């Protein structure tokens, strides 16, 4: 297991860009209200892991978010917003960067 709070914070920034955009979209009158609960749950789990510096856990949670919530990605793509799918490369690049 890898515990690195600095790397976890950088990875969390990617997640927060997606979740903030999704929550903003869910709040609009013409938005997708169904985005709110799954995105808030992902946000909560990612913040907890980032606080511990559990980057392995964050990586696996990100992959789980991709597979279990494809409707979130579709709704965000429709509105040209960042999604977990569109930011996957950025997230994985941060995960694989060396610490030294």
Tell me which residue has tokens 């009158």: 29
CA distance 85 to 40: 17
The kind and range of the H/E element at 2 are none
Per-residue pLDDT tens for 27-83? 766 666 678 899 999 999 999 999 999 999 999 999 999 999 888 888 888 889 999
Q: pTM of the entire structure?
A: 0.88
Per-residue pLDDT tens for 71-96? 888 888 888 999 999 999 999 999 99
């Amino acid at each position: 297991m890898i515990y690195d709070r600095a790397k976890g914070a950088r990875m969390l920034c990617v997640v927060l860009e997606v979740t903030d955009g999704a929550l903003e979209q869910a709040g609009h009158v013409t938005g997708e209200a169904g985005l709110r609960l799954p995105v808030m749950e992902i946000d909560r789990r990612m913040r907890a892991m980032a606080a511990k510096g559990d980057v392995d856990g964050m990586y696996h949670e990100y992959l789980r978010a991709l597979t279990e919530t494809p409707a979130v990605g579709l709704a965000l793509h429709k509105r040209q917003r960042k999604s977990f799918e569109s930011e996957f490369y950025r997230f994985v690049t941060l995960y694989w960067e060396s610490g030294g």
